[in-house]
Structure 1
């Protein structure tokens, strides 16, 4: 795609988001309900900042004082998250393709002295010099960009203005299935920027790919670190060693389910380099299967408290590696080892993989059944939802299926198996009167999926 095409798409993005901002900026940013109060709108932003930033603050700041750091928020909208970010970081810049969003954000954040708001082109950040920011985040923005090339253009320029040692955390729609590819893209249902594209972006820049969570879903979250130095090869011998392992969601559990939401293994190693090793340089082997991890980094989650009981409070020598379990791993004990830099392999440990979770369904994506978009409304044609379910076998077509939405249960009015992807597609009408953030789970036979949260908006008036 050439630059004139970029400019044309950017013009459409500006036009559409300016119009949405004039209609009801808060609803289009967070479809809780129309005409949200300041407290409601800011409250949803506070929750997002707590989940996306504060929960990983040590990782994102490299344990530095955030009050000494500068942060860029790509797609700040009307400042839903910006106000809360300004209370954490020393300097915050919020940018948006929509001038009307920036105007409204300016009114809402008047008097917040450490915030700067700027309308940008939608394809780059030319207003900023190289290496301007310690941390760059983007939440629920690129999923609305209709072109992979324009997403890539934004990420490339974000990389330019990120300081060495800085972190880039962003969210994309990473659905790679053909059904989604066939949907016409616009400034609401944008293009997919997949795991393959993310890994390629990191590789081309010799970046440290810390994590990719939610690959092949609507909400894929990526964290990448800009290295402070160029990699010099494997001249120093590294000897990784697995010192602890467990089920990702229960550190003391030593058997790992093969499928479903629980099919995840976490390994704790010595001999890896926090500044060097990442989701590209590290490979996990289960028997003869080689698996790229979805997280490589400092100890976190429930493993921190468990490991402190074993090794004390200083865990700086350890690295946490997390993988999902591939479909072709069979039940039973398998040797597991870790390869670093395509050269150094840890001694293998034996891990028990169980088929107890083989029937557990997993909700892969939620969309409206009208046009396959992500906007789900409380009434009208977009109030019929479509779900793609993983870990569903052929027998699922003949089993009882129900969908629990909030406190109500509905029965799908259609179901079909997509054998090429091992997915079950089901659709159902939303119960009347639901809107806002709602939890949903699916039951197939006797097995329930883990709950997922999605937004139900009201039709624009």
Structure 2
């Protein structure tokens, strides 16, 4: 098991290395640009990803008075998208370095509050305080699925009665066990000196883990919630709509 202190250190290092790439590795590591002809930049792509998450799950409409919790906010991309639609956003991350960048990026967004997480709970958030929880490409990087189940129980705790969550988990164990081509020492050194090769991709905090969907359902129930919809079961991008009990 990789402890929360290791995860915090790992993501602090990745934030200092190339924060945007490690938030969205569809970016070119060196140029920071997307391939293809879509013309999207980092922030507009995040807005689209947020819409896809909600639309794929047929999630309820966000309300202008809603309070949203963004778990694993990184540099603030989903938090910015949510803040334009709701009353208040709580942005939480285990990495102090990511939060520093998020605060700078969202300095012009007054309805976002920032919280440093402890790596295995939502202790910064009180019971029944949140209308909506969102999280995207975060839980798949957690090395121990037991931590993810703990977060799901915590989501049930912080949601108001009838509140809901839309989030992504991995349900494909092979993805996390896959062997990647190993560059030679010379290639690694040359690539890192040129700033063309990312670091840390063999670390458990990047490789992450898959969840078992029956265990996920039980964790939701233990937190006083239920899973209403699953899309993409059996894949790395399994989307979950959860509802807290009334």
TM-score (norm 2): 0.80
C-alpha distance in 2 between matches for 1:22 and 1:79: 15
Aligned-partner Cα distance in 1 for 2:159–2:119: 17
2:21 equivalent to 1:24: no
The question of whether the paired residues in 1 share the 8 Å contact of 2:153 and 2:223 is answered with: no
Mapping of residues 60-79 of structure 1, within 5 Å: 60-61=60-61, 66-79=63-76
1:18-417, aligned counterparts within 5 Å? 18-31=12-25, 32-34=27-29, 35-36=31-32, 40-53=41-54, 55=55, 59-61=59-61, 66-176=63-173, 186-205=204-223, 207-228=225-246
Aligned to 1:393: none
Q: Are the aligned partners of 1:92 and 1:114 in contact in 2 as well (CA < 8 Å)?
A: yes
Distance 1:91 1:58, change over 3 A: farther
CA distance in 1, matches of 2:43, 2:122: 26
Larger relative helix fraction? 2
Shift of residue 9, structure 1, vs aligned partner: 1.1
Deviation at 1:207, TM superposition (A): 2.9
Residue equivalent to 2:37: none
Quickly say closer, same or farther: Cα 1:58–1:69, change in 2 above 3 A: farther
Larger radius of gyration: 1
> CA RMSD, aligned part only?
2.4
CA distance in 2, matches of 1:153, 1:196: 14
Give the C-alpha shift of residue 176 in structure 1.
4.6
**Higher strand proportion, which one?**
1
Q: Is the alpha carbon distance of 1:99 and 1:14 closer, same or farther for their aligned partners in structure 2, counting shifts above 3 Å?
A: same
User: Is there any run of 5+ residues in structure 2 with no aligned partner, and where?
Assistant: 34-39, 180-201
CA distance in 2, matches of 1:78, 1:176: 27
Number of aligned pairs? 216
How far is 1:107 from its partner?
A: 0.5
Taking structure 1 as the reference length, the TM-score comes to 0.44
Cα distance in structure 1, aligned partners of 2:112 and 2:207: 30
- Contact 2:171–2:213 (CA<8 Å) still a contact in 1? yes
Assess if the C-alpha contact under 8 Å between 1:185 and 1:191 holds in 2. Answer: no
3-state SS of the aligned residue for 2:107?
coil
